[in-house]
Structure 1
Amino acid sequence: MRCTGGAFYSGSTNGDVEFRVAEHNAGLGANFTRRHRPVTLVYCEEWPTVAQAYEREKQVQGWGRAKKLALIEGRGSELPGLARGRQRKDVG
């Protein structure tokens, strides 16, 4: 989810995604989203098990902003090059 100020929040639910977003906007979500409302759903994935969804949530939470933006914008081919510590630094 994109929060007020442009920050991203990654979470998971085993229920209705739109209902969960509404809960976050009502102040019933994580502490982070309570302080950064309103939130908007910008990306969603479905996983066959709760364990897989939680593993993916933790993976995305560890990503930097540029990599999260590439995922949201559908630029999957750029994800490997955006790994932390592997980003190209301009020389000059």
Structure 2
Amino acid sequence: MKTSPQYSVYIVECQDHTLYTGMARNVSQRIAQHNAGTGAKYTRARRPVVLRYQEVVGSRSQALKREWAIKQLSRKQKLKLIQSQS
């Protein structure tokens, strides 16, 4: 039986203090891509980025849904989510 890979949803803080939400199987590798300028277009001009929040969610489908839900939050709500993990 093949096990499905675990996905994580993450929030990074960009150099201009904006927040970017994404999902990945390997978050540390994805952060490295963002900082190398090969990640999302949004983060290319806002490097370096710093990981502020990470949540393991399971399947790709669950990760997409959770990412969308987090993106609907206000900045204040995202900061509260980040603080709740500390």
Work out whether 1:4 is the aligned partner of 2:15: yes
- Alignment-derived partner of residue 31 in structure 2: 21
Distance in 2 between residues matched to 1:26 and 1:6, nearest whole Å: 18
Partner of 2:56: 46
RCO comparison, higher one (Cα < 8 Å, 6+): 2
Q: Alpha carbon RMSD of aligned pairs, Å?
A: 1.1
The TM-score with structure 1 as length reference comes to 0.77
Equivalent residues in 2 for 1:1-92, closer than 5 Å: 1-14=12-25, 16-74=26-84
TM-score of the two chains, using structure 2 as the length reference: 0.82
Q: Please identify runs of 4+ aligned residues in structure 1 that moved more than 3 A.
A: none
Q: In structure 2, list runs of 5 or more residues that go unmatched.
A: 1-11
Q: Percent identity?
A: 39
Deviations 1:27-84 (A, max 9, x none): 0111100011100000000012110011100111111110000000008xxxxxxxxx
Structure 1: gaps of 5 or more residues: 76-92
Q: Say which structure is richer in strand.
A: 2
